[in-house]
Chain A
Amino acid sequence: MTLRALIARLAPLLACLGLLVAWQVAALALNNDSFPTALDSIRAIPAILGDKEALINILASLRRMAIGFGCAILVSIPLGLLMGRSRGVASFFNPLLMMIYPVPKAALMPIIMLWLGVGDLSKTLVIFLGVSLPVIYHSFEGAKAVEEKMLWSGAAMGLSAVERLIRIVLPAALPEILTGCRTGLVLALITMVTSEMIARQSGAGNILFNALDMGQYDAVFAMIIIIGAMGICLDAAFERVRKRLVRWSEPQFDIPLSFS
Chain B
Amino acid sequence: MTGRGITKELLGLIPIALLVAIWHGAVSFGLAPPTLLPPPGLVFMRMAEQLVTASFDQDILATLFRLFAGFLIAVVLGIAIGLAAAVSPSINAAVRPVVRVLAPLPKVALYPALLLLLGFGHESKITLVAADALFPILLSTYYGASTVEQKLIWSAMAAGTPPREILLKVILPSAAPSILTGCRIGLVISCIVVFLAEMITSTDGLGHVLITAARTFQAVDMFVPLITISLLGLILNGLLQAARSYLLRGFPEV
Inter-chain contacts of B159 with A (CB < 8 A): none
Report how far A32 CA is from B117 CA in the complex, Å.
Answer: 9
Contact A111 B101 (CB under 8 A): no
In the complex, how many angstroms separate the beta carbon of A74 from the nearest chain B beta carbon? 21
- Among A92, A105, A190, which residue has its beta carbon within 8 angstroms of that of B15? A92
| 14 A–B contacts, CB within 8 A, in A order | A19-B102, A93-B12, A95-B9, A95-B13, A95-B16, A96-B15, A103-B233, A111-B214, A186-B106, A197-B200, A208-B112, A211-B112, A227-B109, A235-B104
Within 8 Å of chain B (Cβ to Cβ): is A91?
A: yes
The list of the 7 closest CB pairs from A to B, nearest first, reads A102-B233, A15-B97, A235-B104, A110-B214, A95-B12, A11-B97, A260-B185
Within 8 Å of chain B (Cβ to Cβ): is A119?
A: no
Which one, B46-54, B160-168, B169-177, B224-232, is touching chain A? B224-232
In the complex, how many angstroms separate the beta carbon of B67 from the nearest chain A beta carbon? 10
Would A99 and B16 be within 8 Å (CB), given that A107-B199, A209-B112 are in contact?
A: yes
Contact B210 A107 (CB under 8 A): yes
Would A15 and B104 be within 8 Å (CB), given that A96-B15, A102-B232, A111-B219 are in contact?
A: no
Inter-chain contacts of A194 with B (CB < 8 A): 108, 196
Which one, B134-142, B149-157, B245-253, is touching chain A? B134-142
Report B169-203 residues with CB < 8 Å from chain A CB: 181-182, 185, 188-189, 191-193, 195-196, 199-200
Inter-chain contacts of B213 with A (CB < 8 A): 110
Within 8 Å of chain B (Cβ to Cβ): is A217?
A: yes
In the complex, how many angstroms separate the beta carbon of A9 from the nearest chain B beta carbon? 10
Contact A259 B229 (CB under 8 A): no
Contact A260 B97 (CB under 8 A): no
Within 8 Å of chain A (Cβ to Cβ): is B42?
A: no
CB-nearest residue of chain B to A15: B97
Inter-chain contacts of A108 with B (CB < 8 A): 226
- Among A106, A114, A220, which residue has its beta carbon within 8 angstroms of that of B219? A114
Contact A260 B135 (CB under 8 A): no
Inter-chain contacts of B210 with A (CB < 8 A): 107, 110
Contact B233 A227 (CB under 8 A): no
CB-nearest residue of chain B to A97: B15
In the complex, how many angstroms separate the beta carbon of B120 from the nearest chain A beta carbon? 12
Contact A18 B110 (CB under 8 A): no
CB-nearest residue of chain B to A234: B104
Q: Is the interface of A mostly helix, strand, loop or mixed?
A: helix
In the complex, how many angstroms separate the beta carbon of A101 from the nearest chain B beta carbon? 6
Known contacts A12-B100, A108-B226; 17 further A-B pairs (Cβ under 8 A): A15-B101, A93-B12, A98-B234, A102-B232, A102-B236, A107-B229, A110-B211, A110-B214, A110-B222, A186-B106, A197-B108, A221-B113, A224-B112, A232-B101, A255-B139, A258-B182, A260-B188
Contact B219 A224 (CB under 8 A): no
CB-nearest residue of chain A to B110: A224
Within 8 Å of chain B (Cβ to Cβ): is A212?
A: yes
Within 8 Å of chain B (Cβ to Cβ): is A70?
A: no
CB-nearest residue of chain A to B10: A91
Q: Mark A219-260, 1 if CB is under 8 A from B, else 0.
A: 011011001100110110000000000000000011111111
CB-nearest residue of chain B to A252: B143
- Among A35, A107, A232, which residue has its beta carbon within 8 angstroms of that of B117? A35
Inter-chain contacts of A101 with B (CB < 8 A): 188, 233
Chain A CB within 10 Å — which of B8, B93, B116, B135 has the most?
B116
Inter-chain contacts of A96 with B (CB < 8 A): 12, 15-16, 19
Contact B196 A107 (CB under 8 A): yes
Contact A104 B219 (CB under 8 A): no
Contact B214 A104 (CB under 8 A): no
Contact B233 A257 (CB under 8 A): no
Contact B105 A256 (CB under 8 A): no
Within 8 Å of chain B (Cβ to Cβ): is A198?
A: yes
CB-nearest residue of chain B to A192: B106
Report how far A138 CA is from B238 CA in the complex, Å.
Answer: 20
CB-nearest residue of chain A to B230: A103
Report how far A224 CA is from B117 CA in the complex, Å.
Answer: 14
Within 8 Å of chain B (Cβ to Cβ): is A94?
A: yes
Report B54-68 residues with CB < 8 Å from chain A CB: none
Within 8 Å of chain B (Cβ to Cβ): is A88?
A: yes
Chain A CB within 10 Å — which of B113, B192, B234 has the most?
B192
Inter-chain contacts of B104 with A (CB < 8 A): 186, 231-232, 234-235, 256
